[in-house]
Structure 1
Amino acid sequence: MSVALSSATAAPASATPRVTYPVDEKRRKLRIAIVTENFLPKVDGVTRTLARLLEHLNAEGHEAIVCGPETGMTSYAGHPVVGTFGLPLVVYPGLKLNFLRPRFIRRLQQFKPDVVHFVDPIFLGAQMLPMVQKWLPLVPCVSSYHTNLPTYATLFGMPWLEATMWRLTRSLHDRCEMVFCPSESTRRMLRSKGFSNVEIWSRGVDTEIFTPAARDDNLRASWGCTPKPASLTAPLTPSVSGSAIAGSSADEAAFFQLASKLGLNLRGSPKRRTSAGSPYDDSFIRTPPSGPSLTGSPEMSPPPSYDSLSSIPDLDGAAFALPPPAMPTNTFHALHASSSSEAAPAPPAPESKTVILYVGRISWEKNLRLLIEAFRMLPAAVRENAKLVFVGDGPARGDLTRLCARHKLDATFMGHQKGKRLAAMYASSSIFAFPSFTETFGQVVLEALASGLPVVGLHAEGTSDLVSHGRTGLLLDVNAAAKSVAAPPSSKAEVEASGSRAPLSPRLVALRNSESSSPKSAADFASAASQAAAKLRPAYERSPSSSASRSNAPTSGLPTPIPSVGDFAAAMTPSSAAFGACARSYSMLLERLVRDRALRAAMGQRAQVGASRRTWWDAMDAVVRGYEEVVEKAGIHNLSDDELEALRARQRKKAPLTGPIVKALIVLYLALFCMLWSRFLSS
């Protein structure tokens, strides 16, 4: 080995070439300037991701400076924050139109960045981009696309503005060396719009916080949901890789063996076989009884279950007599009668409910009306056993609260939550419902998956990159569901009960109207619901294909194309027949998971395993590698500490954009803007 690795010894030509080991070189420390339209303390997906990035840069030894709206913060994660004033948007007061200030350019020149990162450039970015390229011509620029702002024009009733916004957004991003987006579906969409040089900047999840172990039964009790009984908290062993929901053969064999020893004859006992295929001969593990047979002894047979201790009968035989009570029965009844002669019996404990959780901004562009209508369409027996929990805040919270109260829906609004409190709400729920179609990634979806929740969402950008249909959740193809509106409604009563003109098959109408809890009725409905849900599955799941073809199936989303924003907007109009069909299909997906706990458990286990592979360090380091790539391509080398301090001293003496002429122009610009704004408000 020493001969092979020695550089002084010549190896023959036929010998194995010498192995060279990569040198663990120290990565260069970067200075990054970040220009953002939005920042903390406003909490949304963009600001949370930006906060994670700043924390990662600080941990890795990089320097950063943030230029954004004025929020009262002067630093974050050890990085300075420079703010500017802005005017709130009329249609969305939570967002502002931020204006460029000369101090931004002065601070950037003093900071001497290696790269400038524009986060969702629209208004402030449109002002800053030409100024940065004017005063810092050698510094490369990158951008990141987080929000489908052009699609909001269609959602707010201005579809004629969408094309113009796409052209503006594309022109801003094209002036940058690299464009980051959070998901593969978003990259496909951007490329179809003419964007170039688009790279993936994914997201991660903190699995130490978002985990099923964060479940809080006290929180469930505050929601009116009792803790799960012992029969439901027993761990399941579903197959994580396959679609079958079944326990392991060893556990099943042990269960039936114990039942046979107790004298119970259970139906459906598996035919246990040895590895050679012959029936099991388990006599070697059975202890021969030394006395009378246990199965023939009525004293040792298991008693039936009882609801209370008072209904347990005494055992036969003096040897098995129960010990005397601490207080005689007559005395107890006399004391109880004297304390409360008209006391009502204690109400039975309510059954554990299935909690359907939504986390995100409470605004109508999140398509929350679909979730409300789908919850209304659940059968009465299913709806009484389910509860809606909304976590978040936004402009539509008041309207949504009144809507749930008007329809008498069991819904609770928890407001904005974060950290371990938010993780407890994920883990204490059963299903995560996310009907939004305007996401570029969907951070809350990833957090729900890490918490072991199956997701019921739409086949849309962002969500389809995280949810595997049939494995970690269920996705609704809006275009496929909207095609079912051709048939007439089943009955007038059904239409009035659902608030929709979408049809139901006569079989499902009869089963839902019966509301029977008998095993036969439940089995019939489960079969019908499975058949209806199978029609919404992709073709590769419906067709009996070979294992080779199934291995080529997509790992996430549906194989069908994602509907366009126009298709979503048309299908999600509450007054349209397509909306009723989509709400009914979404309701069936919810009902399928509410009824089938084993399926929820299997999906939750797969979801947790898949989400655990997405770490925040890998996600944030992806954008740092992008920084390194554009800096290396630009050929910029860092200054030494002494050179940087000398440069900053010169910049302080003579900073650009601070003369009297420039100040006068800025005052004139603000006066003109205020005059135009006042005319706009008066009109």
Structure 2
Amino acid sequence: MTTPSSLPINPSLSPPSLFAPSSTTPCYSKPSSRSSSSSFSFKVSSFNSSRTKPIFLNCKKFDYLRVNSEKSRKRLEGLVVRDSDNSRQSNMTISEVREDEVEAPLLDPEINENNSRPRRIALFVEPSPFSYVSGYKNRFQNFIKYLREMGDEVMVVTTHEGVPQEFYGAKLIGSRSFPCPWYQKVPLSLALSPRIISEVARFKPDIIHASSPGIMVFGALIIAKLLCVPIVMSYHTHVPVYIPRYTFSWLVKPMWLVIKFLHRAADLTLVPSVAIGKDLEAARVTAANKIRIWKKGVDSESFHPRFRSSEMRWRLSNGEPDKPLIVHVGRLGVEKSLDFLKRVMDRLPEARIAFIGDGPYREELEKMFTGMPAVFTGMLLGEELSQAYASGDVFVMPSESETLGLVVLEAMSSGIPVVGVRAGGIPDIIPEDQDGKIGYLFNPGDLDDCLSKLEPLLYNQELRETMGQAARQEMEKYDWRAATRTIRNEQYNAAIWFWRKKRAQLLRPIQWLAKRIFPSAEVNYS
């Protein structure tokens, strides 16, 4: 007599909360257009070679996984165990999707249910988004604002300088900082003191979100592991590109190793643009399905054409408001390729240029532009900054290291056309199919290409106004509230799902050992 085959089933090894309560069905069906749920079954032939009748393991309905393409969807449908009805062999064929091709279910019922209740979110941001002026300042300030508006409790751990007493009701904690050895104006902090650890532990975060790369992200990672909570890292500064300009080129490879260590330990990585996501994927920083886009946003009310001011134009043009006026807004750093603008101005003697912003490269730039029609305003904030954007004729962005380029978004929202380099995150803002409609792209370092786009805008008012209006209309599509909602309800959900999956995988050896010590009853099929 042949011993019946057995197949132990352990549902706990499946990713948590993948299956939602529902009726079962003995077939696999594609999701209809009216529903995001589908059902499937595993068709498993008995391991006994004398039995040919298949056994159906019916699985409950689950929320259909979102995939990026038709090809990925078809691969997902292949996730079944098959045994040919016409074959009497005992060998089974298993088709499955590779782990890095499957995305987290964005409609997981248990996680999705949490969207309706307030979350506790701990943000680790370095340097401070309240005092240090950079591209992510507006991003994080608006992110905190709209998380609070959605009812979430928010704790912000950041470098201690300039931390306000209150910001939209978020709990703010300053951590003692020290200057970056190669960039003295950038404060850094590990944020791993007993005081901060106890504050975060008392807060009981549902998720930790840290800016990367930096020093504080290490502290955030350690605290996340100590408290056993998911961690999301958002990548804002493309440090490997900056290193050769500030220090030794041989440090680039070690820096990539540090970035890989951090982001492979994270449950999800957020990037500000597709280009940066591709760079991280090419460097194999983490699994491709764990890299997600933090959608762009802009405050279209603060940056608006109505702020155009004749007084500000007089100031920016050094008393020659009738001359063509180029503006550049941003941190004045050597990595921004601002020396390229000197070459531009050498070819445009009639034009004027204004630099709005400050940074370690300012003194050298002022010497470089000595005797030229250039104005350096220093840092402008609030309405003055809005006026500076709107009062120029063309905004030029030569920096090839931008992870996104929020100043480009703000210029376009202010109704002035942009001529930007085809590098970094700029093509995400001005895609190829919109090049020449909402702005212009030029090839990196190509002066003639830049001038061929810039000169018509400077000397053709109708073209300038048409492109400026088109840019403004495009920017009205992007708002920080929608970007924040996507992070909160989709990307954080994905991070939680990946975290639970990783936790289940780590428990497998323990479960295997427990089954050997405490054997459970087998499921027999006769």
Check whether TM > 0.5.
yes
How far did 1:176 drift? 1.1
Matching residue of 1:610: 474
Map 1:193-592 → 2, pairs under 5 A: 193-194=283-284, 195-196=286-287, 197-224=290-317, 352-378=322-348, 383-384=349-350, 386-405=351-370, 408-467=371-430, 468-478=434-444, 582-592=446-456
Q: Are residues 127 and 225 of structure 1, via their aligned partners in 2, closer, same or farther at CA, if it must alter by over 3 Å?
A: closer
Matching residue of 1:173: 263
How far did 1:158 drift? 2.1
Taking the aligned partners of 1:192 and 1:92, their CA distance within structure 2 comes to 28
Secondary structure of the 1:460 match is: coil
How far did 1:477 drift? 1.5
Q: Are residues 92 and 147 of structure 1, via their aligned partners in 2, closer, same or farther at CA, if it must alter by over 3 Å?
A: same
- 8 Å Cα contact 1:225/1:353 also seen in 2: no
How far did 1:635 drift? 6.6
Matching residue of 2:460: 596
Q: Which amino acid aligns with 1:445?
A: V
Taking the aligned partners of 1:602 and 1:213, their CA distance within structure 2 comes to 16
How far did 1:599 drift? 2.0
Q: Which amino acid aligns with 2:210?
A: F
Cα RMSD of the aligned pairs, angstroms, is 2.6
- 8 Å Cα contact 1:122/1:169 also seen in 2: no
Map 1:113-192 → 2, pairs under 5 A: 113-133=205-225, 135-137=226-228, 139-192=229-282
| Alignment partner of 1:83 is 2:174 | yes
Q: Are residues 82 and 599 of structure 1, via their aligned partners in 2, closer, same or farther at CA, if it must alter by over 3 Å?
A: same
Q: Which amino acid aligns with 1:414?
A: T
1:611-643 residue CA offsets vs partner (Å, 9 max, x unmatched): 11011111122211222343466579xxxxxxx
Q: Are residues 206 and 131 of structure 1, via their aligned partners in 2, closer, same or farther at CA, if it must alter by over 3 Å?
A: closer
Taking the aligned partners of 1:416 and 1:155, their CA distance within structure 2 comes to 23
Taking the aligned partners of 1:372 and 1:164, their CA distance within structure 2 comes to 34
Aligned match for 1:65, one of 151, 155, 162: 155
- 8 Å Cα contact 1:371/1:583 also seen in 2: no
- 8 Å Cα contact 1:355/1:430 also seen in 2: yes
Secondary structure of the 1:171 match is: helix
Unaligned runs of 5+ in 1: 1-16, 227-349, 479-578, 637-683
- 8 Å Cα contact 2:207/2:231 also seen in 1: yes
Taking the aligned partners of 1:131 and 1:352, their CA distance within structure 2 comes to 57
Matching residue of 1:31: 120
Q: Are residues 591 and 163 of structure 1, via their aligned partners in 2, closer, same or farther at CA, if it must alter by over 3 Å?
A: same
Higher fraction of strand: 2
How far did 1:364 drift? 1.5
1:439-471 residue CA offsets vs partner (Å, 9 max, x unmatched): 111111001111111111111111111123211
Secondary structure of the 2:184 match is: coil
- 8 Å Cα contact 1:367/1:436 also seen in 2: yes
- 8 Å Cα contact 1:31/1:63 also seen in 2: yes
Matching residue of 1:653: none
Structure whose CA Rg is larger: 1
TM-score by length of 2: 0.69
- 8 Å Cα contact 2:316/2:353 also seen in 1: no
Taking the aligned partners of 2:35 and 2:422, their CA distance within structure 1 comes to 48
| Alignment partner of 1:104 is 2:163 | no
Taking the aligned partners of 1:360 and 1:223, their CA distance within structure 2 comes to 15
How far did 1:81 drift? 1.7
| Alignment partner of 1:627 is 2:510 | no
Q: Are residues 72 and 222 of structure 1, via their aligned partners in 2, closer, same or farther at CA, if it must alter by over 3 Å?
A: closer
1:500-547 residue CA offsets vs partner (Å, 9 max, x unmatched): xxxxxxxxxxxxxxxxxxxxxxxxxxxxxxxxxxxxxxxxxxxxxxxx
Taking the aligned partners of 2:303 and 2:162, their CA distance within structure 1 comes to 30
1:263-308 residue CA offsets vs partner (Å, 9 max, x unmatched): xxxxxxxxxxxxxxxxxxxxxxxxxxxxxxxxxxxxxxxxxxxxxx
1:364-384 residue CA offsets vs partner (Å, 9 max, x unmatched): 211100011111122xxxx22
Matching residue of 1:337: none
How far did 1:225 drift? 7.5
Taking the aligned partners of 2:133 and 2:307, their CA distance within structure 1 comes to 22
Q: Which amino acid aligns with 2:181?
A: V
How far did 1:203 drift? 2.2
Taking the aligned partners of 2:263 and 2:321, their CA distance within structure 1 comes to 54
- 8 Å Cα contact 2:270/2:292 also seen in 1: yes
Secondary structure of the 2:352 match is: strand
TM-score by length of 1: 0.53
Taking the aligned partners of 1:164 and 1:623, their CA distance within structure 2 comes to 30
Q: Are residues 224 and 147 of structure 1, via their aligned partners in 2, closer, same or farther at CA, if it must alter by over 3 Å?
A: closer
- 8 Å Cα contact 1:375/1:587 also seen in 2: no
Q: Which amino acid aligns with 1:120?
A: S
Taking the aligned partners of 2:400 and 2:146, their CA distance within structure 1 comes to 29
How far did 1:68 drift? 2.1
Taking the aligned partners of 2:498 and 2:441, their CA distance within structure 1 comes to 42
Taking the aligned partners of 1:586 and 1:182, their CA distance within structure 2 comes to 25
Taking the aligned partners of 2:152 and 2:347, their CA distance within structure 1 comes to 53
- 8 Å Cα contact 1:105/1:132 also seen in 2: no
- 8 Å Cα contact 1:203/1:616 also seen in 2: yes
Q: Are residues 224 and 630 of structure 1, via their aligned partners in 2, closer, same or farther at CA, if it must alter by over 3 Å?
A: closer
How far did 1:48 drift? 2.4
Q: Which amino acid aligns with 2:294?
A: W
Taking the aligned partners of 1:129 and 1:187, their CA distance within structure 2 comes to 21
Taking the aligned partners of 2:330 and 2:231, their CA distance within structure 1 comes to 31
Taking the aligned partners of 1:396 and 1:351, their CA distance within structure 2 comes to 27
Secondary structure of the 1:147 match is: coil
- 8 Å Cα contact 2:233/2:263 also seen in 1: yes
- 8 Å Cα contact 1:362/1:392 also seen in 2: yes
Taking the aligned partners of 1:473 and 1:438, their CA distance within structure 2 comes to 19
Taking the aligned partners of 2:314 and 2:187, their CA distance within structure 1 comes to 40
1:139-170 residue CA offsets vs partner (Å, 9 max, x unmatched): 11111011101211122252211111011112
Taking the aligned partners of 1:475 and 1:412, their CA distance within structure 2 comes to 25
